Chains A and B, each alone.
Chain A
């Protein structure tokens, strides 16, 4: 049984928490969050040890195998470093940290300690992306030549069915670290690397439709050919009112023998998808098979899958599927884009 500590029970933290309660061989032992309400929810779910400050959790709990970090961006670096120094494996929501120098420190410490660190690149775990990766790895579209991806929605500006205010740190450039490029663009840059190889930044353009200090619209052109030829086009925005449960992203990979696209695999109707997947799970249940958790939601399933992959790496003592190095390389592109825009 893996013993887990959690830092942060906000939107994604609550999702990870809820997922872990349904996982075999995983026990959430302690949680830390500044919100009393969040701690009360954890207590009601049977978590015995709650802390307002993650430093106290680290001091008290010496029996943990890993920490799951879903804190605001500006706390990632500090909490990761302290967790690694305490000898704990770490899963952290993206971005790994808000600055490249912080990411480098983390990569160095991971290497020094030999611990596992996985960054939450959830998009790699989307069913459609997994299928596309399988196809491209099998050579079915030939040599990969071009990658296009877009993700336009409300990002942190959307709210659940029961609304709650967007936390202030999302509007503070120093604490959030960036705008839509860091929020949504991050995933697509990672996918460019994932499909095409090491990325270089060719061009960047930002817009501020919401008059915020951070960008709400970003377009990047990338190259995986050492900057010699552009082969990646990324377009992200926070400006579109997302309509639950639809999820607006798209990714196309062109090779010299064909192409593959998320459009080929994304459910056309999310309600129909939910009924179909729910029925499959019901049949699995009555046939005494394991269900496929959250498959009916499409989007949220990826969070379950990435966390399961992390725990599997700990159990088998093998490298995580997404590493600290992946987090660093993605942040290098983002920081360079921000620096060029300032110049």
Chain B
């Protein structure tokens, strides 16, 4: 059976998010009975969903309603996220309205970095990886992955596969950035979310763009394959997508797309030339170093150590 990807658009005021989520559950996901559920949004920093950086809590709210509707009110639901190099979950939950959501829906907010963790060792190609994952997360019945649709300098894009990188318990994740592609794939060899719902309400190109889209898939690979295409990239040229395919996480030949057409959303997503996006900043910094060396001017500390 082919992996399913469904593209939906909300109304312009984004008032029918819950209806769209129900549609995704009806058409894409096929889940048996569950007792406990972990929902993993992307809360990379203290920037609201409308900036294009973080997952909209309205989507997580809709997912909670849908889970309760289908599996009853006794299901234990946790919204999970881990501390990052520059972000602390306790503040992100408060500032991005997840604390409000937790109180309103009576669900737990769970910091994966504070939980007992298990050391995971996994090989991706020739790279041997080691990272920690929360035991609670590893033992959960159902992991729901709620990534954001956004471009990223280092990897072209952030999506479903990359969002699970954020499950690593270790706080200083920046140490993995030199082997980021391998680590993304490594985590995805361990965590297998059966429900993936991508937030494309406000997506991130070089700037935020309101595209009112929700994408559902039973596979993070398939979701990212479609999302990369929407963002104007050839998914086969993205390093972590190549690695994911090589490691059996998905196959482009095995994807069935439903709902809106890819082109209808692609046409409103401003494409970013990743080569320029990635290298322009590096080039500027090289010029800056040369300039300060020649002239004896000062580099502000905020730009040092890069």
Using CB atoms and an 8 Å cutoff, list the residues of chain A in contact with chain B. Answer: 11, 14-15, 17-19, 22, 154, 157, 159-166, 171, 209-212, 239, 241, 271, 278, 281-282, 285, 291, 293-294, 296-297, 300, 304
Contacts and interface: CB of A to CB of B under 8 A. Distances in A.
B1 to A, nearest CB: 42
Interface of B: 45-48, 51, 53, 84-88, 91, 94-95, 97, 99-100, 174, 284, 291, 294-303, 305-306
B43 to A, nearest CB: 13
Contacts of B284: 271
A187 to B, nearest CB: 19
A159 B302 CA distance: 9
A163 B95 contact: no
B203 to A, nearest CB: 15
Contact of A18 (B97, B291, B301): B301
Contacts of A209: 48
Of all A-B residue pairs in the complex, the 9 with the closest CB atoms, nearest first, are A163-B86, A14-B301, A210-B95, A160-B302, A241-B51, A300-B300, A159-B86, A285-B295, A241-B47
A163 B295 contact: no
Given A157-B46, A211-B100, A241-B47, A165 B297 contact: no
A166 B85 CA distance: 10
Given A163-B86, A165-B86, A241-B51, A294 B45 contact: no
Contact of A294 (B91, B297, B305): B297
Given A159-B45, A241-B53, A278-B291, A294 B300 contact: yes
Nearest to B52: A241
B294 A282 contact: yes
Given A22-B296, A291-B295, A291-B296, 11 more contacts: A14-B301, A15-B300, A18-B300, A18-B301, A157-B46, A162-B174, A163-B84, A163-B86, A166-B86, A171-B91, A282-B294
A285 B86 contact: no
Contacts of A14: 301
Contact of B298 (A18, A163, A164, A211): A18
B97 A291 contact: no
A161 B300 contact: no
Contacts of A212: 94-95
Contacts of B298: 18-19, 22, 293-294, 300, 304
B63 to A, nearest CB: 21
A209 B94 CA distance: 10
Contacts of A285: 294-296
A162 B300 contact: no
Contacts of A17: 301
Nearest to B207: A243
A285 B296 CA distance: 8
A293 B300 CA distance: 11
B204 to A, nearest CB: 10
A293 B284 CA distance: 18
A304 B99 CA distance: 41
A16 B284 CA distance: 24
A238 to B, nearest CB: 9
A296 B99 contact: no
A303 B186 CA distance: 45
B97 A211 contact: yes
B291 A161 contact: no
A161 B85 CA distance: 12
A163 B174 contact: yes
Contact of B302 (A19, A161, A271): A161
B100 to A, nearest CB: 7
